[in-house]
């Protein structure tokens, strides 16, 4: 496996564990990443609770959300969310769909999400998508390509879309940017709800949001936050096993054993001495 792909897949699992540790993913939800060498493919874990996913659980799919190679794994029924967004947005390289409880009140009430502190400027404008508008009564899952395409159209050029009575989907140009936007977007919803309960909301101006967003999406900011969240999952015992194994091998590898010294050869003088005895 090429190093670039291995690093991307490891980072995808780290991101999944981070979002689980931050209470954005629970038993449900999923994160994906576009193939680093083939933009017509993406990787996503098999059908299981996000916190339990490992690199061995990842499946490579086409943008039609079909497995590139036959697999016995059960796949997420809502994988088309990812495939259709990747089709519509060549600039998107990572996607998460979640049902964070901080965000759900806005998906239920229809109240607009606005950035109320600087780190949430990366959320931008958040449109609403109501599956019922185009597809009537459904089981609330986005399982058909046309449903995923409809969601992608509503997302448009934005980075987050609210799904009525369901949850949210967030996009990013990289895994780290995606995690940054998702975590601080969730924090923003919590703070926004608290401010609304107090009776007054003072949100960022469009100019503040634009300038702050550009600053926060720079690597110094996203990497600093990423390092912090990685430390949190290390402390929680959630760091992916493969990464732990590498670190452990470096620290605990036993030193090479030295060959036992060979017994010294008897000299002729010693041999004659023994014969005299």
Is pLDDT of 277 > 50? no
250 inside domain: no
Average pLDDT for residues 109-131, to the nearest whole number?
A: 97
Predicted pLDDT of residue 269: 44
Is pLDDT of 244 > 60? no
Query: How many CA atoms are closer than 13 Å to the CA of 149, on its beta-carbon side?
Result: 8
Which of 97, 112, 96 has the alpha carbon at shortest distance from 188? 112
At residue 3 the predicted structure's pLDDT band, cuts being 50, 70 and 90, is confident
Average pLDDT for residues 229-252, to the nearest whole number?
A: 69
3-state secondary structure 110-133: CCCCCCCCHHHHHHCCCCEECHHH
268 inside domain: no
Q: Give me the catalytic one of 11, 78, 147, 177.
A: 78
254 inside domain: no
139 inside domain: yes
39 inside domain: yes
- On average, the pLDDT of the chain sits at 90
Q: Note whether 117 and 191 are within 8 A (CB).
A: yes
- Of residues 260 and 50, more confidence is placed in 50
Q: What is the pLDDT of residues 33-51, one digit of tens each?
A: 999 999 999 999 999 999 9
261 inside domain: no
Number of domains forming the structure of the chain: 1
Q: How many Å apart are CA 255 and CA 251, to the nearest integer? A: 11
- CATH number for the domain including 161? 3.40.225.10
Give the ranges where 78-235 is alpha helix by DSSP (H): 80-88, 104-109, 131-135, 145-155, 175-198, 206-216, 219-235
Range of the domain at 184: 3-243
160 inside domain: yes
pTM: 0.86
Is 51 known to be catalytic? no
Q: What is the pLDDT of residues 86-98, one digit of tens each?
A: 999 999 999 999 9
CB-count burial class (<10 Å; 0-12, 13-18, 19+) for 169: buried
Is pLDDT of 222 > 50? yes
274 inside domain: no
Predicted pLDDT of residue 242: 58
Predicted pLDDT of residue 241: 73
Average pLDDT for residues 151-172, to the nearest whole number?
A: 98
Q: Note whether 82 and 42 are within 8 A (CB).
A: yes
In the β-sheet with 160-163, what is the strand arrangement from edge to edge? 58-62, 41-45, 30-34, 94-98, 167-172, 160-163, 128-129
Is pLDDT of 184 > 70? yes
Predicted pLDDT of residue 2: 52
């Amino acid at each position: 496996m090429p190093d670039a792909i291995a690093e991307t897949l490891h980072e995808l699992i780290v991101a999944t564990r981070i979002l689980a540790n931050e209470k954005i993913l629970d038993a449900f939800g999923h994160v994906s990443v576009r193939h680093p060498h083939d933009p017509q493919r993406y990787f996503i874990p098999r059908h299981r609770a996000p916190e339990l996913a490992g690199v061995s659980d990842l499946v490579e799919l086409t943008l039609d959300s079909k497995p590139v190679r036959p697999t016995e794994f059960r796949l997420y029924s809502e994988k088309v969310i990812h495939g259709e967004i990747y089709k519509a947005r060549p600039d998107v390289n990572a996607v998460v769909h979640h049902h964070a409880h901080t965000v759900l009140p806005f998906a239920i009430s229809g109240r607009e999400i606005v950035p109320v502190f600087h780190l949430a400027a990366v959320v931008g404008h958040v449109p609403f998508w109501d599956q019922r508008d185009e597809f009537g009564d459904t089981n609330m899952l986005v399982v058909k390509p046309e449903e995923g395409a409809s969601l992608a159209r509503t997302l448009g050029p934005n980075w987050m879309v609210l799904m009525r009575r369901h949850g949210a989907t967030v996009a990013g140009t990289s895994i780290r940017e995606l995690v940054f936007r998702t975590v601080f977007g969730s924090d923003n919803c919590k703070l926004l709800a608290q401010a609304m309960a107090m009776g007054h909301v003072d949100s960022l101006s469009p100019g503040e949001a634009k300038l702050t967003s550009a600053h926060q999406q720079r690597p110094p900011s996203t990497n600093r936050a990423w390092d912090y969240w990685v430390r949190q999952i290390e402390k929680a015992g959630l760091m992916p096993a493969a990464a732990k194994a590498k670190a452990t091998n470096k620290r605990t590898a036993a030193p090479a054993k030295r060959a036992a010294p060979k017994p010294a050869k008897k000299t002729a003088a010693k041999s004659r001495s023994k014969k005299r005895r």
